[in-house]
Chains A and B, each alone.
Chain A
Amino acid sequence: MNSERCAACKYLRRRCPSDCIFAPYFPSNNPQRFACVHKIYGASNVGKMLQQLPTHKRVQAANSLYYEAQCRIQDPVYGCVGIISLLLQQIHNAENQLAKTQAEIAVLSNSHTQDSQFQQNFLLQQGNVGQSSSPSTQPSSWFK
């Protein structure tokens, strides 16, 4: 018999047996954790869910149940489904933004390539004609 009851057995006001299913995952120093899970799922359902799992997976199951219970308490209508919905919206917005940014890159890269080509051609022509005068400093004359 445990000398100190786990949070679940304290909450349920019962003796905490040595093989208590809740004890490893709901320690007595965190009573709020079990209270939260109990409020949403009920002790019996939590016990059944944990019992159906292999021992090495029960910690993660208890943690995820606690997380979902917290979400449901904070948002009684949507629970953690509200978070999923927000994440999906964020992903949608981010994908749109990424697509726009990539389109911008394509435009900039294209215009950069065209400018470089134009300048190369112009300099070649200058060389062929053999003019010694310096290029015009007026920007507008370069692009007629």
Chain B
Amino acid sequence: MGGSPSPCASCKLLRRRCTKDCIFAPYFPSDDPRKFAIVHKVFGASNVSKMLQRIPVHQRADAVRSLVYEASARVRDPVYGCVGAIYYLQNQVSDLEMQLAEAQAEILCIQMQQQPTITNQYHGDVKSSQFSVSNFNSSPQIFNFASSSNVIMQDPLKRESFWT
């Protein structure tokens, strides 16, 4: 008679029999008890089980990874959890958007400076309308990365200078 398989980390922690169709077993192996412990602490085993049951099997591994990530973030930062990271990254995106805008403006300035320099060389036949702003070959790809505002649900929290 073969020995019974080792219970998964969840069933070990919950002190119950680990059945062959245990919903946790594929994602919480017995060699990493900390993973389930942290998820159980934040979400609770029952809630995790319900969440996994509502998700197609091929997506459950990703769901578990994200739950572990969120639970770890919440344990590290009991006040803000993952939202702290979201806030920080949103600020980074805003900063980069500003830097891009400044860089694009600088390109336009340089181009405008260059055009009058060429104009000075010609006397007589050259028409000044040739160098109107609309004829500038502006660089492509201005502001073509998606703003975060249409992706993020809402400002997570109104709070002050968490990252100063």
The CA-CA distance from A86 to B128 in the complex, in Å, is: 47
Q: Are B90 and A87 in contact (CB under 8 A)?
A: yes
**Chain B residue, CB-CB nearest to A74:** B153
Chain A residues contacting B14 (CB-CB under 8 Å) are none
Check if A65 is an interface residue, CB within 8 A of chain B. Answer: yes
In the complex the two chains form, is A112's CB within 8 Å of B114's CB? yes
A117, chain B: closest CB distance, angstroms: 11
Interface of A is mostly: helix
**Minimum Cβ distance to chain B for residue A107 (Å):** 10
Interface residues on B, range: 35 or more
Q: Which of B69-111 touch A at CB < 8 Å?
A: 69-70, 74, 78-86, 89-90, 92-93, 96-97, 99-100, 103-104, 106-107, 110-111
Cβ A119 vs Cβ B117 within 8 A: yes
B133 close to chain A: CB less than 8 A: no
- Identify which of A40, A42, A71, A139 contacts B153 (C-beta below 8 A): A71
Which A residues between 57 and 76 are near B, CB-CB below 8 angstroms?
A: 57, 60-61, 63-65, 67-68, 70-72, 74, 76
Whole-angstrom distance between the alpha carbons of A64 and B157 in the complex? 7
Give the segment of A5-13, A26-34, A44-52 that binds chain B.
A44-52
Within 49-74 of B, Cβ neighbours of A (below 8 Å) are at 51, 54-55, 59, 62-63, 65-67, 69-70, 74
Cβ contact within 8 Å between A119 and B103: no
Interface size class of A (residues with CB under 8 A): 35 or more
A81 touches B103 (CB 8 A): no
What does DSSP make chain B's interface, helix, strand, loop or mixed? helix
Stretch of B5-13, B16-24, B28-36, B143-151 at the chain-chain interface: B143-151
* Complex interface: chain A residues within 8 A of B78 (CB): 49, 52-53, 61
Q: A78–B152 contact, CB under 8 A?
A: no
**One of A42, A52, A79, A98 near B100 (C-beta < 8 A):** A98
User: A76-B63, A97-B100 are known contacts. Are A42 and B44 too (CB-CB below 8 A)?
Assistant: yes
CB closest residue in chain B, given A80? B82
Closest 10 CB pairs of A and B: A87-B89, A94-B96, A81-B66, A64-B83, A101-B103, A108-B110, A42-B44, A93-B145, A77-B63, A77-B59
Residues of B within 8 A of A (CB): 41-44, 46-47, 51, 54-55, 59, 62-63, 65-67, 69-70, 74, 78-86, 89-90, 92-93, 96-97, 99-100, 103-104, 106-107, 110-111, 113-114, 117-118, 120-126, 139, 141, 144-146, 148, 151-153, 156-157, 159
